[in-house]
Every structure is written in structure tokens, then in C-alpha cells.
Amino acid sequence: MIYNIAVIPGDGIGPEIVREAMKILDKIGEVYGHQFNYTEVLMGGISIDKTGVPLTDEALEQAKNSDSVLLGAVGGDVGNSNWYQLPPNLRPEAGLLALRKGLELFANLRPAVLYPELKGACPLKDEIVGEGFDFVVVRELTGGLYFGPRKTESQNGLRIATDTLIYDENEIRRIAKWAFEIAMKRSKKVCSVDKANVLDSSRLWRQVTKEVSKDYPEVELTDMLVDNCAMQIVKDPRQFDVILTENMFGDILSDEASMITGSIGMLPSASLGNTKLGLYEPSHGSAPDIAGQNKANPIATILSAAMMLRYSFDLEEEANQVEAAVQTVLNKGYRTIDIMSHQGRLVGTDEMGDLIAAEIRRR
């Protein structure tokens, strides 16, 4: 099969980590007989330098016309970059928001995986994490409190700020379907997280999610209040498979989950919509302080490429191969500096990519 991928290296360490992800995809292509064609697309600070804007209409069209999009990172040092002297709509991160909107991506997937080899980097007790955990937060990305009407005004000399939390049933239904589809590829459990004891929007969320669940009789659905979920993530993360939740709750819970996995350099993510076209990127930023030094951890980007294989291209075996290769390399003790321990062997960005690529073979 032939797949056309829009590649956005971006800023800082972006080009380095994207290069390693492409190395892995090429090895998958070699082993499984696929062809991955890459088109480089400008976005972020580098686009500002070359075009004056963080995302051009031409770049957006290139992304739209691809089968999927692989992104490194955008942005720079807020305190020392001229990019952040610009108006907010012209700063690097505005390009990412425009890309997500232009591609109509409403579902954000952020896996939280603790590999047994990285247990020492997890802040939780050994008896809590056991041999590790593996769950994914499915977050609605374009609705809710972040996108509802808002205003700040003065009434009788008193400043009042208003943010509006709005969801309609169609927005809830489409993200719920994503969660159930993902659960079907995993352990077939969905935990829907809300605040139904207080919020009308959460009560509608719970109702619609239960309606969607009828189309997935194989998947076990449970409901959990968000405050309890926040506690359960640190009390017993192994109980979760797929966590489904709205925009603000997902923002907070996925950040909490990232802190118990050992390093944000291990966390991939995907933004998806109604088509197979998706945006795949690591959860971390551009880390300009280590850019060009061969220190960056490429694993989050490599695992993001594995998510691309699974969710955009339906290549489940190939995605499993990439994830197994990562675990094998970690099991052999190889570490980039962010996950280094006294027992590991320190390697750079490019060597980590080479080691993972070498483990990819038909079993």
C-alpha cells in the first residue's frame, strides 16, 4: 500500500524527532511492503520566519490532501524569542490551533503507558503500578467550556467574568463513538467521566454516551465523577482502559496521567475527526534548550507514528511491531537522558531511532 504523509518538523527538537519517526515508518514499509511518501509542510516558528504567518493556506491544503499528518513540535523560548512579541494569532502555537480546526479534528487521544522498565521513574508506589499500566484518555477537543461564549464585564463597579459550558448531543455522540471504537481495539472497557451530580451538560453527556453504548454490546461502560477519577488515576491506574471525557476534564486528567508515566518524552498523542485523516504528535514541546544536541527522546514521536499506523491506516500488526520494538529496546537498558537511570546505557536521539528500527521484523 502507498500512504502519503504530510510531515511538519516544526521548531526546536521537532526536526530531530520527526526524522527518527520517519526512520521507523520506512523500516515498517521495508518489512511489510508499504510505501510512505512524505511532503514537508511548514508550520510554527519556522513558517513565521519564512512566510510571516504560523500556517499558510497552502500548508493547510497540503495537510488536507494527505492521508495523515506527522508533527514534531512548534514554538520556542517564550522569554527569548521574537515570535512571542507578535500578536497571539501570529505566534507559533496559533498554527497548531488553525491546523486542528482546518482539519476538523475533534477527538484527542493521549495514551498513558508505564513500561515495566521505567517503573523507577514513576512517582507512585510499586504496589500501585505493579508491572505497569496502559490506558488512553479520549478527550473532546473542540467544544465545552474552552469554546463557549465568554465575556468579562463590570456591573455596578464589580468585575464579572463568564465562561459558558455548552455541548450538544451530536458533539457528545461523535466523541463517544471514537472511545468505543478504540475500546474495541483494546480491552473493551470505557469509563465515561463527567460531573453529572452538578452539571446539566454532564447529565446530557451521560445520557448520550449510554445511547451510543447500545451499538457496542461487547464494550463494558462505566460512569465516574471527575473528582473520583482524578483520585483513582493515582490510586489504581491499572483499572482503566479507555477514559472518555469532555474538553476541560480531559485536559486536566491527561496531564495528571502524564505525570505518572515516568517522562513526558514517552507520551504520544493523536487528534482525529470523522475521517481517517489524523494529526499525530508527541505530547511534549519543542525543547529549544536541547535542540540540535542529539539529546531529545524520540520515543513519543515514534509511538505517535505507531498510532498513525493503527488509527489512520488500519495497520494493527505494524503498529504493534513498533510498540514492541520500543519495549524491547527499553528492556535492553537503552535510555535517552530524560529516562536515564544508574542502570541504563545512555544513547542519543539518532541512536535510539536506529535501535528501535533494528528490532522491527516479522515475528
**Burial (CB count <10 Å: 0-12, 13-18, 19+), residue 107:** buried
Q: Cell 518524552 maps to which residue? A: 265
Q: Could you confirm whether 311 is annotated as catalytic?
A: no
Q: Could you confirm whether 26 is annotated as catalytic?
A: no
Q: Could you confirm whether 195 is annotated as catalytic?
A: yes
Q: Per the residue annotation, which of 32, 38, 84, 146 is the catalytic one?
A: 146
Q: Could you confirm whether 227 is annotated as catalytic?
A: yes
Grid coordinates in use for 219?
464494550
Spatial distance between the Cα atoms of 111 and 131, rounded to a whole number of angstroms: 17
- Please state, as a whole number, how many other Cβ atoms lie within 10 Å of the Cβ of residue 89: 11
Q: Per the residue annotation, which of 3, 251, 280, 334 is the catalytic one?
A: 251
Spatial distance between the Cα atoms of 99 and 281, rounded to a whole number of angstroms: 13
User: Which residues have a Cβ under 8 Å from the Cβ of 229 and sit 6 or more positions away?
Assistant: 191, 193, 243, 245, 249, 253
Q: Could you confirm whether 334 is annotated as catalytic?
A: no
Q: Per the residue annotation, which of 126, 168, 215, 255 is the catalytic one?
A: 255
Q: Per the residue annotation, which of 23, 27, 194, 195 is the catalytic one?
A: 195
Q: Per the residue annotation, which of 227, 276, 289, 314 is the catalytic one?
A: 227
Rounded alpha-carbon distances, angstroms, from residue 208 to 104, 178, 247: 21, 13, 16
Identify the three-state secondary structure at position 270: strand
Q: Are 134 and 267 in contact (CB under 8 A)?
A: no
Spatial distance between the Cα atoms of 37 and 110, rounded to a whole number of angstroms: 26
Q: How far apart are the first and last CA of the chain?
A: 20
Identify the three-state secondary structure at position 161: strand
Spatial distance between the Cα atoms of 204 and 123, rounded to a whole number of angstroms: 36
Spatial distance between the Cα atoms of 351 and 354, rounded to a whole number of angstroms: 5
Containing 60, the helix (H) or strand (E) segment is helix 57-64
Task: Catalogue the active-site residues.
Answer: 146, 195, 227, 251, 255
